[in-house]
Amino acid sequence: MNRRKHVFPILVLALGLLVSCGGNGNEGRLSTDLVTNPKSATEKSDKQAAIEFDKEEHDFGTLLQGEVVSYSFHFTNTGNVPLIISQVTSTCGCTVGDYPREPIAPGKSGSVKATYDSAGHHGFQSRTLTVMSNTIPAKNTLVIKGKVQTPDQY
């Protein structure tokens, strides 16, 4: 019983040391000075990249099953700071997006290439590519679609 009386104060002291030794809580954290975000997630800043696609949907029409087709979605940075595309993801492993890895200067253009492999698919197909960038909104959606026919239907 006497032992418990001594353990409790030691635990309280240890906990107090852990809390007080934390300093100002900023050790090991990155400075947020490098990140410049507008006032809100939906409000544009006076310094912002902007991506404007010529079109956001492409129809390949009728495809023969097994065909691999590609389409390039052209865009322009209509903002006033460099546009950085961080990633392009797709809804299916049959679709791959390729994009510029270097910043796109204001007023300059680039493209996101969508490649679709129709092997194993049939009927109407629609695939979505999600483009993540330093724009508002940060996510832009591109769509490719087409009708895949088997060789006996073609």
pLDDT, one tens digit per residue, over 53-84 is 999 999 999 999 999 999 999 999 999 999 99
**Answer CATH for 51-149 from 3.30.1130.10, 2.60.40.10, 2.60.120.10, 1.25.40.10:** 2.60.40.10
Strand ordering across the sheet containing 57-64: 57-64, 139-149, 123-133, 85-90
Domain boundaries, the chain: 51-149
Report the chain's mean pLDDT, rounded to a whole number: 83
- Nearest one of 148, 79, 154 to 119, comparing CA atoms: 148
Q: What is the reported pLDDT for 153?
A: 80
- Nearest one of 138, 136, 88 to 114, comparing CA atoms: 88
Beta bridge partners of 62: 147
* pTM (global) more than 0.95: no
Predicted confidence band of residue 22 (pLDDT cuts 50, 70, 90): very low
